[in-house]
Amino acid sequence: MKCEIEIFLDSAWHSAATFQLKDTDERQKGYKGSGFFEYDLSYAYKHLNATAIDAVSGLYPVNFEIHTTTAWPSFLLDILPSGANRKYFLNELGIPNNPNADWPLLLKGGGNPPGNIRIAQAAPVPAHEKIHKGFDFEDVVSRAEYFIEYAKQNNAPVEGSSGAQGEAPKFLLTQDKHGKFHADGALPDHLAHKHWLVKFPRGKNQSDRDILRNENAYYKVARSAGLHVSPEITFASNALFIPRFDRKVTRQRVVRYGLESLSSLAGISDFGVTVAMEKLCAVLSRYSSAHTLDIKEFIFRDILNVALGNTDNHGRNSAVLKYLNGTIRLSPLYDFAPMFLDDQGIPRVCRWTGAESWGIPEWGKIAELLKDVITDTAQLRSELSDFAEIINKLPEIMVNCGVDHWLIDKLEDRIDNVKRSLKAARPLV
């Protein structure tokens, strides 16, 4: 049982590698099944020793080696359908949700994930000469999570629309120059104008709607706090339109950047597991082309996670982008919302080892935890202490950015606790 992995380079898809299960019994174990990963000989010959956008994963530089794995290579879990996307493909395949479903889900739903790699067997059928006219903005927001079914009923191709992971329903849509929306992959690149990830509430509860509405405002807060956030985010009628940062449209082509989660780069072939935050910083230290800047950005994001109640901080909610010039940088912020409001309870998964008390990190201790990846810990302490001024202004910033007033009141104690912890991080005399 083998899957073929393709990579997008120089405006075309290329066969790059394969992963093969050790034997048929391994399929029953799902993504914990053992197997063999290797690059195609012709690809390895052309890209030998590549480690950036032309490698399928930072963990696997291009070479001629056959890698024996005790579970699926971790980058495949960035592609494997999960959450609402998994439910969609389980329904499409008509199979029960168990580990035995993972392999057919990969071969069915791994054809159009964010980034620049895909599973060849799952690749969407190329667009025909006759292109569907597409749909208006109102069609998308009014049908909400049922939009894809509506598009299918109107004879529009939809195969590439469901590539995004996460519990909330998300669609990958491409907008043409006339403003019409199409399922991603249904529109040839030369007709693409913008690429969007469109997100809807996780469920039917009021809290689900509150979370998504305030996620829109949270991105504005993060940008005001100096963090790296995508522009042009739009919210309308319980639909959040986020411009895709793994795509760039130029006059000549569509550029697909590589995208890999920090969990994948940490070699974690599992979902929802606890990963020490300092380990994720070590990943950035190893792979980022500007690791000090990216580690500090990662820390400041976590400060806002704690202050604003974004408890959903697992390692697949942070990623790096791989650019055409070979640089690798922390991607813009995503999945940043008041998840502590979720009725199911979303725990803070990734924590700082020995430096958190009741979910509130001690930022001075964290600076010392990172002495192996940040050379000037005194400077880091100073920057953390200075960031307390931004946290002090958070209530005002949140009002200006449109966060609900009742939510601001609910976060008052969190914000005060974070502010005090940051002030205590000032450099030691």
Task: For the chain, give the mean pLDDT.
Answer: 93
Higher-pLDDT residue of 134 and 127 is 134
Q: Is the pLDDT of residue 345 over 80?
A: yes
* Domains parsed from the chain with CATH numbers: 2-122 (no CATH), 137-249 (3.30.200), 257-423 (1.10.1070.20)
Q: Please give the average per-residue pLDDT across 308-321, as a whole number.
A: 95
H or E element, residue 153: helix 147-153
Q: Please give the average per-residue pLDDT across 337-344, as a whole number.
A: 94
Residue 168 pLDDT level (bands cut at 50, 70, 90): confident
Quote the radius of gyration of the chain (alpha carbons, Å): 22
Give the lowest-confidence range in 25-39, 87-101, 166-180: 166-180
Residue 153 pLDDT level (bands cut at 50, 70, 90): confident
CA-based nearest residue to 416, from 404, 408, 427, 428: 408
* Contact indicator for 320, 333 with CB cutoff of 8 Å: no
Residue 428 pLDDT level (bands cut at 50, 70, 90): low
Roughly what angle, to the nearest 10 degrees, separates helices 277-287 and 291-308? 150
Give 235-251 pLDDT, tens digit per residue.
Answer: 998 899 999 999 999 98
Distance in angstroms (rounded) separating the CA atoms of residues 207 and 186: 34
Higher-pLDDT residue of 247 and 130 is 247
Residue recorded with tokens 């795509």: 247
Give 33-86 pLDDT, tens digit per residue.
Answer: 999 999 999 999 999 999 999 999 999 999 999 999 999 999 999 999 998 889
Token pair of 227, please?
A: 């963090």
Q: What is the pLDDT of residue 273?
A: 87
In the 8-state DSSP scheme, what is residue 135? Answer: B
Q: Is the pLDDT of residue 270 over 60?
A: yes
* Contact indicator for 105, 86 with CB cutoff of 8 Å: yes
Distance in angstroms (rounded) separating the CA atoms of residues 258 and 328: 9
Which alpha helices (DSSP H) does 154-276 contain, by range? Answer: 206-224, 262-265
* Contact indicator for 102, 30 with CB cutoff of 8 Å: yes
Percent of the chain surpassing pLDDT 70:
97
Higher-pLDDT residue of 110 and 157 is 110
Distance in angstroms (rounded) separating the CA atoms of residues 273 and 268: 8
CA 146 to chain centre: 23
C-alpha count within 13 angstroms, C-beta hemisphere, residue 103:
21
In the 8-state DSSP scheme, what is residue 60? Answer: B
Number of H helices, E strands in the chain: 14, 17
Q: What is the pLDDT of residue 429?
A: 57
Token pair of 72, please?
A: 């699926």
Q: What is the pLDDT of residue 330?
A: 98
